[in-house]
Amino acid sequence: MADWALNAEPELQDAIVLWQDWLTIEKRAADRTLDAYRRDLAAFLSFLALHRGGRVSLAQLEELKLRDFRAWLAERSSRGLSHASSARALSVVRGFFHWGERQGRFANSRIGGLRAPKLPAALPKALSVPDARELVEAPPAKEQPAWIQARDRAVLLLLYGAGLRIGEALGLTAGDLPQGSDRTLRILGKGSKVRMVPLLPEILDALRLYRETCPYRPVSGEALFRGLRGGPLSPRVVQLGIRDLRRSLGLPESATPHALRHSFATHLLAGGADLRAIQDLLGHASLSTTQRYTAVDPSSLLKAYAVHPRAKAGKKR
């Protein structure tokens, strides 16, 4: 029996199963994400069962007051759980309530009045331009087959040169590659949103070399990047490979696959790229997410002021 089922009445159990199906099919949530959501919802129901005295029903969810939700967050705080953990749990529970309302199964608007725990601003850990270049251009391990060397370089260039998430890069199929004179890559990102990403000639050359040297010939719908035995390349292999690279080069531990994506955006911004353009390239749903990079490189914002009429007027004085 699932953890959440221990504290839920049958009709609530049925609703949770449908919610999980929706997350899997409609939202395409990863297995790890689903597990985290289940744990957060199970912990919430466990609190309610103790708080209200018995298994939780859909009717009880609708009756919850704002003070009940606040008591739940206070109980988490008393157990020493971090603000980040509680903010994530609140997001999961709030999402469950929103889903229930859209489905016409249960509703409680009071949770909308609950403030999330305040979190410190988390800035992306971008690499410097020299460090990023060193990581991407590092000579491959000689003991590796030539096609593995070509594969790893192509993946690194997609992360830093095109700003792809590691899951997006490894989710590419053979049919996703540009054909003929086309230089754009079709990316299926979070929330099943599709975006088109232009590729630099260096990345196109790296992908071409990998395809030419790879002993496996995936067809259109099959994974482009392959592991040593021919199966789809695991993210763990990429993570460990970058870990070994950064250690051999003496780079900081923050040099991770996702840091290369952050570096892509930060370095574009420093070069004068428009935030809206960077938002499109990264596939961010909200510009506010992209704006985090302005805190990483404020010098780029000062450059933007140089074209303001008042800045020009000041120079004439």
The one-letter amino acid at 284: H
Active site residue 276: no
267 included as an active-site residue: no
Element (H, E) at 151: helix 146-161
Q: What's the rounded Cα separation, in Å, for the pair 207 and 224?
A: 10
Whether 284 is catalytic: yes
Say how far apart CA 190 and CA 197 lie, in whole Å. 15
* Known catalytic residue at 305: no
Residue of 83, 110, 186, 190 marked catalytic: 190
Percent of the chain as helix, strand, coil, to the nearest 5: 60, 5, 35
Annotated catalytic residue 165? yes
Q: Which two tokens stand for residue 2?
A: 């699932």
Given a contact cutoff of 8 angstroms between Cβ atoms, the answer to whether 99 and 53 are in contact is no
Respond yes or no: is residue 190 known to be catalytic.
yes
Phi-psi label, residue 130: left if phi above 0, alpha if psi -120 to 50, beta otherwise: alpha
Among residues 38, 153, 165, 226, which one is catalytic?
Answer: 165
Choosing from 76, 226, 261, 262, the catalytic residue is 261
Active-site hit among 37, 160, 210, 293: 293
Which residues belong to the active site? 165, 190, 258, 261, 284, 293
